[in-house]
Amino acid sequence: MANNKQQIKRNVQNEKKRLANASFKSSLKTAIKNVEVLAKNSDKEKAVEALNLAYRKLDKSVAKGIHHKNYANRQKSRLSDKVNAM
């Protein structure tokens, strides 16, 4: 347990950030899953809209430092391949 004021504050900040990151990761996974489901159902127009949302979320996760840029690029490539294959 922290016993000085600075470390106590830092622990509170870290916990807030951890929860925010967890929430963002969850929304990103949902966005990716939506693209996959729409691509599987052959709904091209909605799949492209969902793909754009997933792209924005992936780019934001890299900017925030939540994910590595290679992870985001790999996911974008994978999702675009699925949408283009329809």
pLDDT score of 67: 95
Thinking of the domain 5-84, which architecture would CATH place it in?
Answer: Up-down Bundle (1.20)
Contact present, 33 and 20 (Cβ < 8 Å): no
pTM for the model stands at 0.84
CA distance 62 to 32: 15
- Domain limits, the chain: 5-84
Q: What is residue 61's predicted lDDT score, i.e. its pLDDT?
A: 96
CA-nearest of 38, 48, 34 to 80 is: 48
pLDDT average per 10 residues of sequence, the chain (86 residues): 89 96 97 95 92 96 96 97 92
Q: Are 21 and 66 in contact (CB under 8 A)?
A: yes
Angle between helices 5-40 and 44-64 (to 10 degrees): 160
